């Protein structure tokens, strides 16, 4: 059995599945509704939904004769929590880069004003 993060990232690796999740952010949808923007068969879209369902990212419910798909956010929250550490890492690196660029710009401005003053 794969762990939740591995299943989540494996499901998110496909652009069609990411597009399906993006659609489900706006509310539940049937397979037909999810398939509408794609140039693929309903069984192909159903297979993508099944992968998302197995990863815990989508749940299905029956409403009358329709099966509706709904976004399940918990696995995405787990992935976001895992990525938060890396966001912090990159944020610190960008802060250091910004500080270094400010030093370089100030040094350049000093050199430019000294050169202009000599003329």
φ/ψ of residue 74, rounded to 5: -55, -45
For the chain, the C-alpha Rg in angstroms (whole number) is 24
Give residue-wise pLDDT tens across range 56-112.
999 999 877 778 999 999 999 999 999 998 888 888 888 888 888 998 998 888 888
pLDDT given at position 2: 57
Q: What is the pLDDT of residues 18-46, one digit of tens each?
A: 999 999 999 999 999 999 999 999 999 99
Residue 93 has a pLDDT of 84
Which residues, at least 6 apart from 88, have a Cβ–Cβ distance to it below 8 Å?
Answer: none
Q: Is the full-model pTM beyond 0.75?
A: no
* H-type alpha helices, the chain: 4-12, 15-24, 31-35, 42-54, 74-118
Classify 55 as helix, strand or coil: coil
């Amino acid at each position: 059995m794969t762990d939740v993060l591995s299943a989540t990232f494996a499901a998110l690796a496909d652009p069609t599945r990411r597009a399906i999740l993006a659609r489900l952010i706006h509310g539940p949808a049937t397979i037909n509704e999810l398939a509408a923007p794609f140039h693929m068969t309903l069984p192909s879209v159903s297979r993508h939904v099944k992968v998302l369902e197995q990863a815990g990212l989508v749940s299905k419910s029956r409403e009358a004769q329709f099966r509706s798909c709904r976004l399940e956010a918990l696995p995405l929250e787990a992935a976001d929590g895992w990525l938060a550490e890396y966001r912090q890492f990159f944020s610190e690196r960008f802060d250091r880069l910004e500080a270094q660029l400010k030093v370089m710009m100030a040094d350049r401005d000093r050199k430019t004003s000294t050169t202009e003053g000599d003329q």
